[in-house]
Amino acid sequence: MSFPAALTLSGIRLYQRHISPRKGFSCAHAALHGGESCSAAVARIVREDGLRKGRARIAARFGACRRAHNVLHAGSPLAFGTAGPRVRGVCCCGPIPIPIRCG
């Protein structure tokens, strides 16, 4: 395993152990479809394909998470200033998932 891949997996483990439990929500993809979170999926892809070869699959996963985020927010009453459930998730618009609050 390359040094960048090992460093990426270490960063993901750090995130999963220390940051994710404190933020109180999962990525939009896992919230909508169930299954593994983006951090777990990216870690699996890096272990299977490596960081360089797995770039397309990682980008596809973040794109799917972004689409799930859009589905969760489609028609949200929060857009019109009314009360409604607040959906929290992860913005997957780049190479690193960034926790955000929506609404």
Please give the single-letter amino acid code of residue 55: R
Report d(CA 54, CA 77) in Å as an integer: 38
Length of the chain counted residue by residue? 103
Count of domains forming the chain: 1
pLDDT > 70 in the chain, percent: 72
CA gyration radius, the chain: 15
pTM (two decimals): 0.69
- 101 vs 67 pLDDT, higher one: 67
Note down the domain range covering 61. Answer: 3-101
Q: Which of 58, 50, 40 is nearest to 95 (CA)?
A: 58
The pLDDT value given to residue 61: 95
User: Cβ contacts of residue 41 below 8 Å, gap of 6+?
Assistant: 29, 61
The pLDDT value given to residue 88: 52
